[in-house]
Chain A
Amino acid sequence: MRALVLLLQIVVSVVVTALCMPVLLATVPAARERPLGLAAVAVIAGLTFAGLRVVWPKRQV
Chain B
Amino acid sequence: MKSWSLFVMVGMLVAGGAVAAGAQTQGRPSVYRATDPATGAEIRASQTAGGLVLEVAAPGVTLTRRASGGRIVTVVRAPKDELTLESSRSQMVVSGRAGRVVVTGAEAARLREAQALVAASPAAAEAVRLLGRISLGQMSPLSLTLKATRALLLGVMNDPGGREALGEVMEDLRTRPVLTRVALQSSPTDCWNAYVREAIAAYTEFDDCVRNSSFLGDLACAIIYDMRAIGAFSWWMSCVALGG
Q: Residue-by-residue, is B214-244 near A (CB-CB < 8 Å gives 1, otherwise 0)?
A: 0000000000011001101110010000000
**B residues near A17, Cβ cutoff 8 Å:** 233
**A residues near B206, Cβ cutoff 8 Å:** 22
Judge whether B200 and A22 touch: CB under 8 Å: yes
Q: Which residues of chain B (168-227) have a CB below 8 Å from chain A? A: 188-189, 192-193, 196, 199-200, 202-204, 206-207, 225-226
Judge whether A25 and B199 touch: CB under 8 Å: yes
Chain B interface mostly helix, strand, loop or mixed?
A: helix
Q: Residue-by-residue, is B154-179 near A (CB-CB < 8 Å gives 1, otherwise 0)?
A: 00000000000000000000000000
Can you name the residue of chain A whose Cβ is closest to the Cβ of B243? A14
Judge whether B200 and A19 touch: CB under 8 Å: no
Bound-state CA distance A17–B226 (Å) is 11
Bound-state CA distance A18–B234 (Å) is 8
Most chain B CB inside 10 Å of its own CB: which residue of A22, A25, A26, A37? A22
**B residues near A38, Cβ cutoff 8 Å:** 192
Shortest B71–chain A CB gap in Å is 62
Check A37/B203 contact, CB under 8 A, given A18-B234, A21-B233: no
**A residues near B196, Cβ cutoff 8 Å:** 25, 32, 37
Judge whether A22 and B202 touch: CB under 8 Å: yes
**A residues near B189, Cβ cutoff 8 Å:** 34
How many chain A residues sit at the interface, stated as a range, is 10 to 19
**B residues near A15, Cβ cutoff 8 Å:** 230
Query: Among B188, B193, B203, B230, which residue has its beta carbon within 8 angstroms of that of A23?
Result: B203
Bound-state CA distance A15–B232 (Å) is 11
Bound-state CA distance A50–B204 (Å) is 30
Shortest B222–chain A CB gap in Å is 10
Shortest B135–chain A CB gap in Å is 58
Judge whether B226 and A21 touch: CB under 8 Å: no
Judge whether B229 and A37 touch: CB under 8 Å: no
**B residues near A14, Cβ cutoff 8 Å:** 233, 237
**B residues near A23, Cβ cutoff 8 Å:** 203
Shortest A57–chain B CB gap in Å is 25
List 19 other contacts, CB 8 Å, given A18-B232, A18-B234. Answer: A17-B233, A18-B233, A19-B226, A19-B229, A21-B233, A22-B203, A22-B232, A23-B203, A25-B200, A25-B203, A26-B199, A26-B200, A26-B203, A26-B204, A26-B207, A32-B200, A34-B189, A34-B193, A37-B196
List residues of B whose CB falls within 8 A of some A CB. Answer: 188-189, 192-193, 196, 199-200, 202-204, 206-207, 225-226, 229-230, 232-234, 237
24 residue pairs bridging A and B, Cβ less than 8 Å apart? A14-B233, A17-B233, A18-B233, A19-B225, A19-B226, A21-B199, A21-B229, A22-B200, A22-B203, A22-B206, A22-B225, A22-B229, A23-B203, A25-B199, A25-B203, A26-B199, A26-B200, A26-B204, A26-B207, A34-B192, A34-B193, A37-B192, A37-B196, A38-B192
